[in-house]
Structures are given as structure tokens and as C-alpha cells.
Amino acid sequence: MTRIDAKFARLKAEGKKAFVSYVMAGDPDFDTSLELVKGLPAAGVDVIELGLPFTDPMADGPTIQLAGQRALDRGMTLDRTLDLVRAFREADTETPIVLMGYYNPIYSRTVPKFLEQAKAAGIDGLIVVDLPPEEDEELCIPAQAAGLNFIRLATPTTDDKRLPKVLQNTSGFVYYVSITGITGAAEAQATDVGPEVARIKAQTDLPVIVGFGIRTPEAAETIASVADGCVVGSAIVGELASGKSVSEVLAFVKGLADGAHRA
């Protein structure tokens, strides 16, 4: 059982919804990023999604693209991202961390070496947005053999014919993308999301967590109420980009987490 599995089992036993936060590793610099990540669990974050900076982030909207560019400009790399995770794990051995990014840096490292290093650093799961289920032998199956969850995205365009393929080797949780398009592009609507979550849950026992388009505590509560929890990324990254201090960003995160936990 991974930390992710254990966390969702505990939340289910407590009758609570999950709050997942996304932040970009190294944005705006290594030390600030580490301080922010270290503060997330106390702000109510159940699972940390950590972005791996990449030069061509095709699924990300402007807010997260700019965060990745800031991190790259300050020298953030895959190795430094793993350093950040190791530093976080010195004080926190319980909060799950999901590394979210693109396949190119992993491919360049080689899959066996990357998985060994990621597991040793304290990463619990992966979201790799540019590897479809047809490429499961490439990373998904080796990752799960190494003890890492491989989390897959389902979207409004994932029809009933495609959904079983998407769910086939997914573990940890299913990430339902509430809108069609890039991150930060529109607002999620519970009336649209609820039936889609039910459709997915009819085919899997995994928790379904909804992301994209959630910016307020009220939205977090509303969306979490029709799913097993919610993810917020662009809104948090945007707060940091606006010049807010780490403590101010964490206060914003706490509001979102409280909203999700009220659901």
C-alpha cells in the first residue's frame, strides 16, 4: 500500500473528502518552493501534486507555464526537484507526493534510473500527461512494479468506449479533468461534473478527484461534494506569482482545503 492508498483509505474511514494542491517545484526559486511545500500539510492539504518544470508543457495554461519557466530560469532540474522532495521528507514521512509532468525528462534519465531515484527520494505517484494508455509498457507498468501509483486523467471527452482503457492500469486515484482545454481556462460546474464522476465510479473502485477550474473555497466545497475530493493548481500558483508571501499563499490554500473538507 502506497502513501496515496493509505491516505484515501483513512479519508474514507473518516467520511472526508480529499484536498489535493498543485505547486510547481522551484517556483519562484528552490528555497521559497520548499518552504511552501513544507507548509502545505498544516494548511490542510491531503496530497501534494508537485509539478516537474518542462520546456514544452502543452497541457498547461499560461499560469502554470509561466511558473515552470520561472523555475527553469532559476536552475530547476529533475535532480533539484528530487532534492526538494528529499528535503521535504526529512520532516514529513506521511503526506503523499505525486510528481506531475511530461515524459521527456524521464525518458532522458531512463525509466529504471528515474524510478529508482524517485522512489528513494520519497515520491509516491506519477501523473505523466503525454503518455496514453497505449504506452503503458513504457512507464506505467514499470512504475507500479516499483511501488509507485500511476494516476491517469479522464476528461469530458473520455467516452464509455475509451474509459475502460484509461482505467485499465490506473492506481491511486483517477484525476477527472472537469473542463475541456488547458489548466486555468474555465470554471468547473458541479452540475456537469457530478454525472461524469458517477459514470467513472461505475467502472472503478478508485477515488475520483476533480481538477481544473476550481478557484474558491465555495467551488472546492461544491466540486468535492460530487466527487471524492478536488485539486487546485492554477489558483494557488497564481497567488504566489502575484507576489504574495508564503504565509499568505498558505492561508489561501487553507481556505480552499477547508472548503473541500466541508463537502
Known catalytic residues? 49, 60
Under a CB-based contact definition with an 8 Å cutoff, are residues 245 and 223 in contact? no
The amino acid occupying position 231 is V
Q: Are strands 125-128 and 97-101 parallel, antiparallel or unpaired?
A: parallel
3-class DSSP assignment, residue 9: helix
The answer to whether 157 and 196 are in contact (CB under 8 A) is no
- Do 166 and 160 form a contact (C-beta atoms < 8 A)? no
**Rounded-to-integer distance, Cα 210 and Cα 117, Å:** 29
Give the CA radius of gyration of the chain. 17
Which residues does 16 contact at the CB level (< 8 Å), separation at least 6? 261
Tell me which residue of 197, 157, 179, 169 sits closest to 233, measured CA to CA: 179
Place of cell 491516505: 7
Q: DSSP per residue over 57-112, as a string? A: -TT--HHHHHHHHHHHHTT--HHHHHHHHHHHHTT-SSS-EEEEE-HHHHHHH-HH
Do residues 18 and 46 make contact, with C-beta atoms less than 8 angstroms apart? yes
How many C-beta neighbours within 10 Å does residue 106 have? 23
Asked if 30 contacts 76 with a C-beta cutoff of 8 angstroms, the reply is yes
